[in-house]
Amino acid sequence: MIFNSFNFIILFPLIFLLYYAIPAKYQNARNLFLLAVSYLLYLQWKPIYALILLGVTVVTFYSALAITKAKRPKWTVTVGVLLALFPLTFFKYFNFINETVSDGLAIVGLNFHLAGLNWAIPIGISFFTFQALGYLWDVYYKRQEAEHDFFTYALFVSFFPSILSGPINKASLIIPQLKQLRPYFDYSKAVEGLKMLLWGMFMKVVVADRVALYVDTVLPSYENYTGLSCFVASLLYTIQIYADFAGYSLMAIGVGKVLGFELTENFHRPYFAVSVTDFWHRWHISLSTWLKDYVYIPMGGSRCSKLRNYWNIFVTFLVSGIWHGANWTFIVWGCMHGICQIVEKILGQQKCNYGWFGKSVKIIITFLLINFAWIFFRMPTLADACKVIARIFDPTLPTTIYKPEISNTFFMVSALILLLLKDFRDEYYPHRILLFENRFAIVRWCAYILVMILIMLEGVFSADQFIYANF
């Protein structure tokens, strides 16, 4: 469900009321209701793709059960993983693999080309597949008991707040919540959820979508803009992707809380990171945890030789790049993050052992490195990314800058300042200048109302999707 859509404003109160109309003692009925809602919302996009969601759920559910009984669980888990990965590979990577193989063969003079697919990728496929695979491996590594109730498991895979763009929840976090008797209604959790929903909405429609107006003007036609404009657009894209994805995650976690669930935290003010390694402890935490648990550690993690450890880091971030999309730009982006972390490890720069000045310098350097990598993430091809970078560093280009109309600039700058102040406060002074958490109700309410009015007056309400919904 797209949280900044009109449908959400209409449907969510309805879901809320119907859900809480079911008495808490009928826990299974409540779970079945959420499962039905999750599938109905998924069916809205492309009904046939719900079969893929169901297929991945069935395969991983029965594979997990089979692992517990199998004599050779390694074989069972391998078959289960391959089957669960098949739709993701087919829909997301077929064209990429096909083109790469054809291009490779063409180099040696062989002309072999299969027709490409022209199908839309099932929405959220990377998220629910990885969530289901995580469960399967947890059962295999005996970190999680196999779930015997299919409907509980199906709800874990398809839970509507997180199916579109995560967080990628661990079974050990969600399944116990689905199984234990939840209180009828948790007032403080619901209020906390609404606050997250409100701030997440602010981040998405007031910050991300406003900044996107600049980014989407400059970067697609970068040839017509100066290097300085391209640089500013790249900085703004860095902010856009954060506000977009962290905003979505906050809303997903908020919706979960309103319904009484705790989902995985996904962001922790990533642009205050002092190194790229630190960045990955703060950015898309659920994915980096997944990659650590199911790629990095099984390969040996850091309990091996230095060289092997560097290789493990590199492969982990290569997988991260591939997960994001079937394009060389994502692979280069992933490799850059891997290489940066290896260099930091060699130089012992993963943490910050300096004073505030050194820390500030490290934060700025990390931000610029990450910003540089985002250029590859944003541009459609490697050639385009390289051309944008070349423009940024081209001294012969004029130093003029693209300026949107003055009101747009005001909205953009004011939204960025508000976001920066909020994140700065949360990072360094979490117990000062409290607004949403102020002990005086009047201050809290003024803050809620002000943010809501800002959303209505400054928000960009077009038909835009969340960036990560494409992955």
Partner 1 sequence: MLINLFTQTFSGMKRFILRIVLFFSIILIADVVLGRLFSFMVSHAVGGDNGRVNYICNQTNEDMLIFGSSRANHHYNPQILMDSLSLSVYNCGEDGNGIILNYGRLLMIEQRYMPKYIIYDVSCGFDLETNDNHKYIGKLKPYYERKGIKDVFVSVDMTEKWKMLSQLYRYNSSFLTVFDDYLHPNQSMGFQGYRPYEGKMDVRTINSKKEFKKHVEYDSLKLAFMAKFIEHCNDVKMIFAVSPVWYGRDTKRLRPVIDLCKQHGILFLDFSNDSKFVHNNEYFKDDYHLNAQGADEFTKDLIQELRMREII
Residues annotated catalytic, as ranges: 324
Interaction of residue 6 with partner 1, rule CB under 8 A: yes
Strands, E, within 195-347: which ranges? none
Report how far residue 295's alpha carbon sits from residue 322's, in angstroms, rounded to the nearest whole number.
13
Q: Tokens in use for 98?
A: 């096909």
- The distance of closest approach from Cβ of residue 385 to partner 1 in the complex, given in angstroms and rounded to an integer, is 16
Residue 167, preceding bond cis, omega within 30 degrees?
yes
The only residue of 26, 184, 354, 393 in contact with partner 1, by rule CB under 8 A: 184
- What character string, x for contact with partner 1 (CB under 8 A) and - otherwise, covers 41-60? --------------------
- The distance of closest approach from Cβ of residue 179 to partner 1 in the complex, given in angstroms and rounded to an integer, is 19
Ranges within 410-439 binding partner 1 (CB under 8 A): 410-411
Q: For residues 191, 194, 196 and 197, what is the CA-based torsion angle, rounded to 10 degrees?
A: 170
The only residue of 225, 261, 272, 377 in contact with partner 1, by rule CB under 8 A: 225
Report how far residue 276's alpha carbon sits from residue 145's, in angstroms, rounded to the nearest whole number.
35
The only residue of 105, 400, 427, 437 in contact with partner 1, by rule CB under 8 A: 400
Span of 147-155, 340-348, 393-401, 429-437 interacting with partner 1 by CB under 8 A:
393-401
Element (H, E) at 218: helix 209-218
Instruction: Show Cβ contacts of residue 207 under 8 Å, excluding neighbours closer than 6 positions.
Output: 239, 240, 243, 247, 415, 416, 418, 419
- Nearest 5°: the CA angle 275, 414, 252 is 65
Q: What is the DSSP letter of 466?
A: P
Q: Tokens in use for 300?
A: 């040996």
Interaction of residue 202 with partner 1, rule CB under 8 A: no
Interaction of residue 397 with partner 1, rule CB under 8 A: yes
Instruction: Show Cβ contacts of residue 76 under 8 Å, excluding neighbours closer than 6 positions.
Output: 63, 66, 67, 70
Interaction of residue 399 with partner 1, rule CB under 8 A: no
- What character string, x for contact with partner 1 (CB under 8 A) and - otherwise, covers 9-38? -----------x---x--------------
Interaction of residue 354 with partner 1, rule CB under 8 A: no
Interaction of residue 186 with partner 1, rule CB under 8 A: yes
Identity of the residue numbered 293 = D
Interaction of residue 457 with partner 1, rule CB under 8 A: yes
| 181 versus 307: smaller Cβ distance to partner 1 | 181
Span of 38-46, 103-111, 232-240, 404-412 interacting with partner 1 by CB under 8 A:
404-412
Report how far residue 5's alpha carbon sits from residue 9's, in angstroms, rounded to the nearest whole number.
7
The only residue of 109, 355, 395, 398 in contact with partner 1, by rule CB under 8 A: 398
Report how far residue 221's alpha carbon sits from residue 229's, in angstroms, rounded to the nearest whole number.
11
The only residue of 226, 264, 288, 309 in contact with partner 1, by rule CB under 8 A: 226
- The distance of closest approach from Cβ of residue 333 to partner 1 in the complex, given in angstroms and rounded to an integer, is 25
**Which of 255, 286, 264, 252 is closest to 189 using CA atoms?**
255
Interaction of residue 197 with partner 1, rule CB under 8 A: no
| 185 versus 424: smaller Cβ distance to partner 1 | 185
Q: Tokens in use for 441?
A: 């109700």
Burial class of 269 by CB neighbour count within 10 A (0 to 12, 13 to 18, 19+): middle
Radius of gyration over alpha carbons of the chain, in Å? 23
Interaction of residue 462 with partner 1, rule CB under 8 A: yes
Interaction of residue 448 with partner 1, rule CB under 8 A: yes
Instruction: Show Cβ contacts of residue 211 under 8 Å, excluding neighbours closer than 6 positions.
Output: 236, 237, 239, 240, 243, 412, 415, 416
Report how far residue 81's alpha carbon sits from residue 133's, in angstroms, rounded to the nearest whole number.
6
270, 410 contact by CB (below 8 A): no
| 70 versus 228: smaller Cβ distance to partner 1 | 228
- The distance of closest approach from Cβ of residue 252 to partner 1 in the complex, given in angstroms and rounded to an integer, is 20
Interaction of residue 346 with partner 1, rule CB under 8 A: no
- The distance of closest approach from Cβ of residue 14 to partner 1 in the complex, given in angstroms and rounded to an integer, is 14
- The distance of closest approach from Cβ of residue 441 to partner 1 in the complex, given in angstroms and rounded to an integer, is 10
Q: What is the total count of residues that contact partner 1 (CB under 8 A)?
A: 36
Binding site for partner 1 (CB under 8 A): 6, 20, 24, 183-187, 190-191, 223-226, 396-398, 400, 407-408, 410-411, 445, 448-449, 452-453, 456-464
